[in-house]
Chains A and B, each alone.
Chain A
Amino acid sequence: MAEERGGLQREGGQDDAGPLREALPELARCFPDGRGEAAAAACRRMTAQGLGAAAVAYARTAPACVRMVGAGAALALAASVEALGRTAGPPAALALAQAAAKAARRLGTAEAFAAWLGVVEELAAAAPESVSALLGRIEGVLVDLDVPRFEGWVLAGLRMAGGDPARRRAYFALEDPEALRWLERAAADLGFSAVERRLKAYLLALWRLRAPIRPVGAAGSDGPPRRVSFASGIIRVPESFRGYEGPVAMALFRASLAHVAAHFRFTRRRFAVGRLKPLQVALVSLVEDARVEQLAMAEFPGLRRLWLPFHVAEPGDAPIAPSLMARLSRALVDPAYQDDDAWVRKGRQLFFDTRDRWDDPAISRHIGGLLGNDLGQMRVQFNARTYVVEPVYRDDNAGLWDFGDRAPSPGASDTLVESVRIDRIDDSPAPDRRRPDPQPQDADDGAPHRAAEDTQDAPGVPVARYPEWDHLIAREREDWTTVVDYPAEPGDPRKVDRVLEERPDLAYRIRALVRSAKVSRPVRLRRQSEGDRLDLNACVGAAVTRRLGQSPDPRVYETSVRRDRDLSVLVLLDVSESTNDKVLGGITSVLGLERDATALLAHGMAELGDPFAIHAFCSNGREEVRYLRVKDFGRPYDAAARARLAGLRGGLSTRIGAALRHAGAALAPQLTHRRLLLCITDGEPSDIDVFDRRYLVEDARHTVMALSRQGIDTFCVGLDTAGEAYLTRIFGRRNVLQVDRLDRLPETLPSLYFRLTA
């Protein structure tokens, strides 16, 4: 093929003039309407720019491209090769010329090819070192992706690497497992992540099973087909099963998880491998699979309809081990299945003869051992290395066996988040009780209450993952950020108390303001002397009294008012590095101003018994959005909480979207009429792994809109007048207040509460 001959040319040295001269006539011929001349001119230009090898490769590949995607696209390719030569160097240009025909074959149309060239040029500009590596593997990547998905995957890589060329190269060379996982995810028509919640609910409903489930990426496009796996209580599910789409993919996920759940329920202990041969291990597993399925189907007969369609082995299949085993699998669960093979019939006979003892896992071991011996004597070849469990919904059996001291499956570090997630489900926080609990919750007041905070030098504990919105692809990228709970170090509570002592006037005014704010469902007041409507009962009463000869009560109106504050407030403080700066034209630091303002507000709310929480955040890349809990809902605002407020220090960056999502999750269970997320920040959102200035702003804006759909009002108090533009972009013009001096706080607070009630 043309492009392959081009590949040989790569080592051809400086002098490409000869090969090029040979290729040019063919190049000119293959273009219609005399546009061959333009292509030849492009080749000469390339040679002049030192892209001789690329020119030769182009001249050889162009005829194939013309055939597949048309002359226009082939000419556009020449321009792209030149562009890559400029931005990423001659090797990249050569790689593009060589990869073009493969891409053209995959993409098929001129439009898709042109769009693909555009993405490649962008990538070359953003990550010149990585483009050759990607182009070398382009065929495998484009197997599963169309151009928009390809673009999404490329952008994910650029975001993920966060400006680190080594990580970018690993990603685009498909050496980073994340790259494969994202590839899988981009390719999946129905990815596991999209249906994770409903599948978890399914397992919970059927089996009361709440095991952590972790999606895992592809083993590579040419690896063996993947299966569900479980080990040490964690279920690993492929992000997608290749070749299964739409409703079938959904049924397959469901069948897989139901099968694993049957193991959880009925395979109580793992089998010891001992001296068993691989074939016997495989057969014991096979019988065990059938055994747990039979027991599960006895309990839930409908599971048969879920599992049987995946059993596609037929009697006529070749008598080799994998096919015989697939047939046996089918024979053991499908009563209608007929098979003449003696071995399959024997297996079925043995299995159904022990029908009464199916609740004993030892029979699997027994029958599997017998069948293994038979198969061995039949001299049927079995290759443990290439063996894949059939049918597709069954797990890889790793969880059934005790391999002694062998290390558990990879990715153990990922499990932390999952297990914490499970904990959170188990003891979801109690709803705030409107008034803080009068008795102290812990005897050791001052000791932080979260287990994770108990150890002094505990690093953060990952507690949740959130998606992030990428405005370039207008989609959310799942599980992109990790929120890590960090203990809030206590400081000197007097630092917080001082502002109350120094500014009693402010403290008083703010308290009065909070008290006068009425944020609640309107309450109907009957028997009013003035009001919007007649109170019918009062009118009747008045008429009755008049007839009775007495003087009627003149209060015959009714009206609606908001009477109390049925409002939860979560104050989210930005404690990034920039908060150490001085306030514009002032002497206090931004953090100091944040602290004082929060102290005043918290003092007012605590005295009035309003439910509120104070949290703070900063970030260190997408994997570490640090989250500090100064005071939680339902906890007292005591000396310990004030000490934590005083102890906040500025550092790191501002990934505001993830923090807003996490704060929203803390606020969502509050049962009050309105829920207010009050974000106090100073600077533009930024993080070390983000270079696109709009990216975090757009993500935060997306988050704010999502929160408002959940009924959570988000307001921002900006402590830096320079931030007006992007803060209004994030929160909306009406929802941003600028405060540059503490004295302005009382002026601005009423407008905040007013907006809540308006």
Chain B
Amino acid sequence: MPLSGYLIGEEPYYRPTGNEIALFEAAYADRMPMMLKGPTGCGKTRFVEHMAWRLGKPLITVACHEDMTASDLVGRFLLDADGTVWHDGPLTLAVRHGAICYLDEIVEARQDTTVVIHPLTDERRVLPLEKKNELVRAHPDFQLVISYNPGYQSVLKDLKESTKQRFGAVDFGYPAPEVEAEIVAHEAAVPRDVATLLVRIAERSRNLKGHGLDEGVSTRMLIYAARLVHRGIALESACQVALVLPITDDPDIRDALSAAISACAA
């Protein structure tokens, strides 16, 4: 199997917060394209990895960016000593051999690039390789998953209506405090009370969303902070390094956050 390198061996830790696993399994059973929405660092990517492992399918992840072209997805001819050789792009690989293809932060890619996924996301399930004059029919195992952060939404970065309407969606938010503490404690191997405290701190920062912060502290940031604590760094310095300094450059907001952290800490 050409994609064995993309198989996930060990179970990635994922703590469900609702029925998203059942939803995703049902969607996969019908190979329905899925869209995962939610703020950065809330566990979208981890969820896809977990589902790929659970379903026993290879996972091909593409981080989308502004300069990505359609050939970065589908593939291109390259030169070698004897002539030209076609090289499948990540999307074509997944389509041909039956993997879950995960396009991370799809809005970052230009809208005209993303239309190449259209024929894959309706009944046709085909990928036309125009340059190679080939029509790749999707492997029965192939599924397309995209992630999408509505928080960044600006006028310039939004999905085309025709793209949006081809997907089912799961909405992710930050988990409930106890669940989030459980996740942090597990991921960073810190005692539960440290994790609970960090989650309380995160809630303080999320109160400032829209009033100085574009986005509150994510679960991922909390795990980083907890790992520093695990390595013996004092809690307040760990929070400075992992939470306050990365999230904002505004001195007033930094000061308010630091003071709030100090109020939370015993």
Contact = CB atoms under 8 A, between A and B. Distances in A.
A binds B: yes
A543 B264 CA distance: 63
B9 interface: no
Interface stretch (B56-64, B114-122, B254-262): B254-262
Contacts of B67: 524
Contacts of A403: none
Interface residues of A, number: 32
B113 interface: no
Contacts of A205: 204-205, 207-208, 256-257, 260
Contact of A201 (B69, B76, B252): B252
Interface residues of B, number: 33
B265 interface: yes
Interface in B190-214: 204-205, 207-208, 210-212
A387 interface: no
Given A204-B211, A205-B204, A302 B253 contact: no
Contacts of B154: 431, 671
Contacts of A543: 79
A343 interface: no
Contacts of B251: 198
A302 B265 contact: yes
A547 interface: yes
A691 interface: no
B234 interface: no
B207 A258 contact: no
Contacts of B78: 540, 544
A306 B256 contact: no
B83 interface: yes
Contact of B263 (A198, A208, A302, A433): A302
Interface in B100-123: none
Given A205-B204, A543-B79, A302 B155 contact: no
Interface in A174-199: 197-199
Interface string A250-278: 00001000100000000000000000000
With most chain A CB atoms within 10 A of its CB, the pick from B67, B259, B262, B264 is: B259
Nearest to A304: B266
Interface in A334-385: none
A201 B208 contact: yes
Contacts of B77: 540-541, 544
A548 B82 CA distance: 11
B266 A302 contact: yes
A301 B265 contact: yes
B79 A544 contact: yes
Nearest to B206: A205
A544 B84 contact: yes
A455 B161 CA distance: 41
Contact of B264 (A201, A302, A537, A540): A302
Contacts of A318: none
B262 A197 contact: no
B71 interface: yes
A418 B30 CA distance: 56
Contacts, number: 83
A407 interface: no
Interface in B151-197: 154-156
A254 B255 CA distance: 11
Contact of A202 (B79, B259, B265, B266): B259
A198 B255 contact: yes
A481 B159 CA distance: 44
Interface string A384-428: 000000000000000000000000000000000000000001001
Contacts of A204: 207-208, 211, 256
Contact of A300 (B155, B256, B264): B264
A425 B84 contact: no
A619 to B, nearest CB: 30
Contacts of B260: 202, 205-206
Interface string A653-681: 00000000000000000010000000000
B65 to A, nearest CB: 13
A199 to B, nearest CB: 7
A35 interface: no
A434 interface: yes
A500 interface: no
A305 interface: yes
Nearest to A196: B252
A198 B252 CA distance: 5
A317 to B, nearest CB: 29
Nearest to A524: B67
A587 B263 CA distance: 68
Interface in B208-266: 208, 210-212, 251-253, 255-257, 259-266
A279 B78 CA distance: 90
* Most chain B C-beta atoms within 10 Å of own C-beta, residue among A198, A200, A206, A671: A198
Contacts of A197: 252
Contacts of B205: 205
A671 B152 CA distance: 12
A201 B251 CA distance: 11
Nearest to B266: A301
A548 B156 CA distance: 39
B212 A547 contact: no
B263 A540 contact: no
A-B pairs, top 6 by smallest CB distance, nearest first, are A201-B256, A301-B266, A198-B252, A302-B263, A202-B256, A300-B263
Given A254-B259, A543-B79, A671-B156, 11 more contacts: A198-B255, A201-B212, A201-B255, A202-B256, A204-B208, A300-B263, A302-B263, A302-B265, A537-B71, A544-B78, A671-B154
16 contacts: A198-B255, A198-B259, A200-B256, A201-B256, A201-B257, A205-B207, A208-B207, A258-B263, A301-B265, A306-B262, A537-B69, A537-B76, A540-B76, A543-B79, A544-B79, A548-B83
